Amino acid sequence: MNRREFLAFAASLATSSLIASCSDDAPSQSVPVPKAPERISVQDSLNDVLARWSAVTTNVDGSPLADLAGYRVYRARIPSRPFQLVAAVPPNALEWRDGSLRPGDIFYYKVKAVNAKGIESDFSPESQAISLSIRVASEVLPAFGAALFLNRNGDVVPPSASRSDLTLTRSADGFIALSRFCTHAGCSNMRFENQVWVCQCHGSQFSQQGRVLGSPAQTDLERYRATLQPDGSVIISFSSSPLQ
Ligand code: FES
């Protein structure tokens, strides 16, 4: 290679590296990512939990989501732990029924949308904590003025038990199921005295319906749906209102 040929070769290398450098710096084509489902709700029954969520129709950048491939359902026992994939459902399904729970299991659910390229959205918000509904037999239902202490698997425990999950009392209108955990600091040492719940830890008081009557608690007790059945038993459900 003579000097002229060498200079021409060097010039061509410089030009091609300039082109390569320009193409590296060029903005990459952004890949649309589906938006996350905005809402999720869960509904329990005696046999399973139904998770339902809102449809996703757009990408994060606002463009229409034309290639929605479906949704992926995740769940965890504790929200601070990683959520595990438990189901993939087609795009036209906005719900999934989890029939694998055992009595007393408590789970939280989240959902992601996924497009045809396999690109997932962020997680939806997490659901409330949910477990299977429980049936309380008519023979063990509390008399007026008394309280029944239960675990989420339906076991009846003595009031002196160091821990139980919920309480059931009888009112003029039916039955009232409440979380046993005081909203001040989570103490479960609650006593039902003269139709009032009194926390034995720092003295908070709650009405039979769970409303705060006396501090230091500021928040009402969590209340569950308790429905009297034709056979005289009561079914306690832990779900709040389902998704509309
Ligand atoms: S934990 Fe109940 S009053 Fe403090």
From ligand 1's centre to the CA of 184, what distance in Å?
A: 5
pLDDT confidence of 237, banded at 50, 70, 90?
A: very high
Residue 180 pLDDT greater than 90, yes or no: yes
pLDDT confidence of 242, banded at 50, 70, 90?
A: low
From ligand 1's centre to the CA of 44, what distance in Å?
A: 29
Give the end-to-end CA distance of the chain in Å, rounded to a whole number.
78
Q: Which residue CA neighbors atom 3 of ligand 1 most closely? A: 202
Q: Which residue CA neighbors atom 1 of ligand 1 most closely? A: 185
Domain layout of the chain by residue ranges: 40-115, 134-237
Domain with residues 40-115, CATH architecture: Sandwich (2.60)
Residue of higher predicted confidence among 8 and 142: 142
For position 220, what pLDDT does the model report? 97
Domain 134-237 = CATH 2.60.40.420: no
- Is the CB of residue 197 less than 8 Å from the CB of residue 179? no
Structure tokens at 27: 């903005």
Residue 5 pLDDT greater than 70, yes or no: no
Please indicate whether residue 182, judged by its CB atom, sits closer than 6 Å to ligand 1.
yes
pLDDT confidence of 231, banded at 50, 70, 90?
A: very high
143-151 long-range contacts, Cβ below 8 Å, gap at least 24?
143/170, 144/170, 144/171, 145/195, 146/170, 146/192, 147/192, 149/180, 150/236, 151/104
The full 3-state SS of the chain, as one line of letters, equals CCHHHHHHHHHHHHHHHHHHHHHHHCCCCCCCCECCCCCEEEEECCCCEEEEECCCCEECCCCECCCEEEEEEEEECCCCCCCEEEEEECCCCCEEEECCCCCCCCEEEEEEEEECCCCECCCCCCCCCECCCEEECHHHCCCCCCEEEECCCCCEECCCCCCCCEEEEEECCEEEEEECCCCCCCCCCEEEECCEEEECCCCCEEECCCCEEECCCCCCCCEEEEEECCCCCEEEECCCCCCC
User: How would you classify the pairing of strands 108-115 and 95-98?
Assistant: unpaired
User: How far is residue 60 CA from its own chain's centroid?
Assistant: 23
From ligand 1's centre to the CA of 232, what distance in Å?
A: 34
Residue 184 pLDDT greater than 60, yes or no: yes
Half-sphere exposure (CA, 13 Å, Cβ side) for 75? 24
What share of the chain in percent tops pLDDT 90?
A: 81
Q: Which residue CA neighbors atom 4 of ligand 1 most closely? A: 202
Please indicate whether residue 198, judged by its CB atom, sits closer than 6 Å to ligand 1.
no
- Is the CB of residue 135 less than 8 Å from the CB of residue 234? yes
This prediction has a pTM of 0.82
pLDDT confidence of 26, banded at 50, 70, 90?
A: very low
Please indicate whether residue 184, judged by its CB atom, sits closer than 6 Å to ligand 1.
yes
Q: For 100-154, write each residue's pLDDT tens digit.
A: 999 999 999 999 999 999 999 999 999 999 999 999 999 999 999 999 999 999 9
Rounded Cα–Cα distance for residues 82 and 79 (Å): 7
Q: How many CB atoms lie within 10 A of CB 195?
A: 13
For position 162, what pLDDT does the model report? 72
Residue 21 pLDDT greater than 90, yes or no: no
